[in-house]
Amino acid sequence: MHDSRRLRWAVNGARTFIVPTDAVAASLAEIDRTVRAAHFRPRAAAPTAHAARVYRRGSVVGDILIGGSGLSAITSRIGPLSAKGIAVVSVVERDAHARMIVSLVAGTHVGADFVDAVEDAVHTLVARGVPVEDEGWSRAVDVDRSLPAHPQRAAELGLL
């Protein structure tokens, strides 16, 4: 498990938590709310096993202009013209529980906004009384390689 402060700037992070199966819809709705507030927008993607949601932020032009230029601190202010970021929400249901992984598979430059959004979603779920078994943060590359929340698998599935 990693410290979320380190994941804000250094690597693409992934947050894993377990909720009851009947709380999956509410969890996805909360993730959707917070990730959209961080300027990610839902991306229509072909249905993929375990990929419940795919979000994209920025554009190719924005990524070229901002990525590597030291201007990533202002990306939240310029919205769509910001560094590229792609987040994948993977849900694996087992028995009465579902393991949810919210992973930034591309876009280290938007890591701070992504981490804040996911932290907000988890805290809100807990505050609403959803029983959350939090497994914490890891690097996205440490997620199970067979899941679309892993960067290489996301690339193979055409989600990047």
Q: How far apart are CA 151 and CA 154, in angstroms?
A: 5
Where residue 63 falls (left for φ over 0; alpha for ψ -120 to 50; beta otherwise) is: alpha
pLDDT for 10-36, tens place per residue?
Answer: 568 999 999 999 999 999 999 999 999
Q: And the tokens for 19?
A: 């909720």
Q: How far apart are CA 53 and CA 89, in angstroms?
A: 5
Which of 41-45, 75-79, 106-110, 143-147 holds the top average pLDDT?
A: 143-147
pLDDT for 74-113, tens place per residue?
Answer: 544 444 445 678 999 999 999 999 999 999 998 877 888 8
Q: What structural domains and CATH numbers belong to the chain?
A: 4-56+84-156 (3.30.70.260)
Q: Are 111 and 118 in contact (CB under 8 A)?
A: no
**pLDDT at 24 (0 to 100):** 95
Calculate ∠ Cα 151-86-21, nearest 5°.
80
**pLDDT at 110 (0 to 100):** 81
* pLDDT of 160 above 50: yes
Q: What is the mean pLDDT of the chain?
A: 82
Q: How far apart are CA 38 and CA 31, in angstroms?
A: 11
